[in-house]
Structure 1
Amino acid sequence: MPPPDVPVLPRPTATPALPAAPVDVTEAWLANRRLSAHTRDAYRRDVTAWLTWCAHTDLDPLRATFLHVNAYARALEGSVGARTGRPLTPATVARRLSAVSSWYDFLVKLRAVDANPVAGADRPRVDRDHSATVGLSPQEVDALLAAAHADTGPTAARNRAVVALLADLGLRVGELVSLDLTDLGVERGHRSVRFVGKGGRPRRRALTPPTAYAVDAYLAERAAAQGLPPAELTGPLLVTATGGRLDRHSVFRLVRRLARDAGIASWARLSPHSLRHAFATTARAEGVPLEDVQDAMGHADPRTTRRYDRDRHNLDRDPAYVIWAARSRRTPG
């Protein structure tokens, strides 16, 4: 039976054939794109959710039209996120439809469908000038770092490295937990880290002295526990107590616990992305050019970077003052 309140639209009787099972086609689509492991998993979940909806509504996904996609979008808008317990945001719905659209583009190339049904669908409008992320002030970031330094226990050194990497580099949580020890290096006198960013783009960032110190201290402690010199450690950069790769959910819990310890009022609504948000906002407030912040964050579109800059509407930064000052310098007397 289809889920309640979900429109069921008629489907044609003719049934085209996929070149393979939907799961195999999805894996082929993902393998065809340069994506990070986190993005790959997210896209897989998004397409699986669409195919599940199609099955519930007795719809062949190869016969879907933009009307079916619209019905699916309205169903998403009326659903609740499993993690947040709140209705899905327009940005989340748009992202899920974007994944489905990319999947259909792949099917068009395979000649399994004639056209992409998502292309003509009514997608939610996403305000590029707004970020729903709960941000942190520079003082709150300082308090969070202080809470990490005051932390005790067997994972305290690792936790300090985690927070330092998030705060000083503004990494995405998926980028953070994907780091391996082989990603650390030295380039032209800079301590550095290399990783695969969003969209599968290889990236590199410089480690600040405090972040490099936090990472070194953590690795020295980890190596001592294994009776090895740090240079002989292998595997993920950040590991659990049992040696497995640290996962994103653990980082979420860590950020909120330390924020609570630091007395930050919004601790229960924070995420690792809050530190990424703070990185961009603080960099722009300190006068770092937009293009440099964009490059550091790995944004393909500068409009994405600009929405993190919540101080950009401050009238102190109105270009009119700069033009007036320049005119004053040119005018004698």
Structure 2
Amino acid sequence: MQVVPRQGGGAVAGLGAAERVTEAWLANRRLSEHTRAAYRRDVAGWLAWCGAQEKDPLRASFLDVNAYARGLEARKLAATTVARKLSGLSSWYDFLVKIRAVEANPVGGADRPYVSRDHSATVGLTPGEVDALLVAAARAGERSRAVITVLADLGLRVGELVGLDLSDVGWERGHRTVRFVGKGGRPRRRVLTADAAEALDRYLAVRTSGDGRTSGDGRTSGDGPLFVTSSGGRLDRHAVFRLVRRLASEAGIPAADRLSPHSLRHAFATAARSEGVPLEDVQDAMGHADPRTTRRYDRDRHNLDRDPAYMIAAARARRAGP
């Protein structure tokens, strides 16, 4: 990375060089486009701060990173947001260490905000609210119904949903399935529930390709995005975000203006655990590498009705007999 002098005696990495290094770093990672875009913004924010402070990012210390983090907190950003930005920046510096552009990662010694694994800022939904959202989606049209049903029944990330292609839907060993690339670039597959499969088939029967043609028979062969706009382009995450909030408002769900597609993912995990699905099965379904992440999604995990003490006492009573 080329370092060029700045007026006033400071030095910063050349913008073009920094961008090239960032792209090389991202190319070296298996990431979704959404994550790549977020990482680009995180690095760009740091470089802009370094430029304003006349700091050379190649010579930054943990003290500089601390000052940057405190500045983010002063902007009233959530601790989770600050922690995520620093995590992306740390990964960027790890790459710089590997290519010997810097000797050490300055983020490693920085004071990162504490983020509890039991905390999630996502607003959740009760099973009844999910049902009401599905009813509103069915009234809104076949695409809306299919989008919300797949999110609710499978707990997919919104990026996984909008990234689906026609060819990703099929049959495997008697199961209707959907294949997709999950977080970290891992190929995954999930079964479609009867409701999700029916919703998809009804949508495919009226799905337009942008030139007025429809799939007609619900088949999913061929290329192209599964969920499309009226002009035939791929439906994006922002459209799904707006759809969830609009339908939630129509369904009379409280806090509709604070919901997101991720709210349905949280609801999926909570409902699965409440129905007795083992934690490891929910973890696998959601594509979590760490079971502690899955537990954070389970909003009902602190329900006293689920205290294992009741199960142990009941088993003891059965052994004792009448």
Alpha-carbon distance in structure 2 between the residues aligned to 1:261 and 1:176: 23
Alpha-carbon distance in structure 2 between the residues aligned to 1:290 and 1:104: 35
Whether 1:148 aligns to 2:127 is: no
Whether 1:271 aligns to 2:260 is: yes
Q: Per the alignment, do residues 15 and 48 of structure 1 end up closer, same or farther by CA in structure 2, a change over 3 Å counting?
A: closer
Q: Per the alignment, do residues 66 and 214 of structure 1 end up closer, same or farther by CA in structure 2, a change over 3 Å counting?
A: same
TM-score normalised over the length of structure 2: 0.91
Cα deviation per residue 1:79-116 (whole Å; 9 max; x = unaligned)?
Answer: 2xxxxxxx321111101100000000000000111110
Higher relative contact order (CA 8 A, sep 6+): 1
Whether 1:74 aligns to 2:70 is: yes
Cα pair 2:177 2:192 within 8 Å, conserved: yes
Alpha-carbon distance in structure 2 between the residues aligned to 1:138 and 1:332: 37
Q: Per the alignment, do residues 234 and 123 of structure 1 end up closer, same or farther by CA in structure 2, a change over 3 Å counting?
A: same
Farther-moved stretch of structure 1 (69-78 vs 224-233)? 224-233
Cα deviation per residue 1:271-306 (whole Å; 9 max; x = unaligned)?
Answer: 111111111111111111111111111111111111
Cα deviation per residue 1:243-292 (whole Å; 9 max; x = unaligned)?
Answer: 11111111111001101111112111111111111111111111111111
Cα pair 1:17 1:112 within 8 Å, conserved: no
Deviation of 1:15 after TM superposition, in Å, equals 6.8
Whether 1:185 aligns to 2:164 is: no
Alpha-carbon distance in structure 2 between the residues aligned to 1:228 and 1:70: 55
**Aligned-partner SS, 1:222:** coil
Match of 1:117 among 106, 116, 127: 106
**Aligned-partner SS, 1:226:** coil
Match of 1:291 among 276, 280, 283: 280
The percentage of aligned residue pairs carrying the same residue is 71
Alpha-carbon distance in structure 2 between the residues aligned to 1:42 and 1:200: 16
Which letter does structure 2 place at the counterpart of 1:200?
G
Alpha-carbon distance in structure 1 between the residues aligned to 2:291 and 2:20: 35
Match of 2:232 among 229, 236, 243: 243
Alpha-carbon distance in structure 2 between the residues aligned to 1:139 and 1:260: 15
Match of 1:48 among 44, 49, 57: 44
Match of 2:213 among 212, 226, 240: 226
Alpha-carbon distance in structure 2 between the residues aligned to 1:250 and 1:223: 17
Cα pair 2:50 2:57 within 8 Å, conserved: yes
Show the counterpart of 1:197.
Answer: 182
Whether 1:166 aligns to 2:166 is: no
Cα pair 2:244 2:261 within 8 Å, conserved: yes
Which letter does structure 1 place at the counterpart of 2:205?
A
TM-score normalised over the length of structure 1: 0.88
Alpha-carbon distance in structure 2 between the residues aligned to 1:101 and 1:227: 47
Whether 1:260 aligns to 2:256 is: no
Which letter does structure 2 place at the counterpart of 1:78?
A
Deviation of 1:329 after TM superposition, in Å, equals 3.4
CA RMSD in angstroms, aligned pairs only: 2.0
Show the counterpart of 1:82.
Answer: none
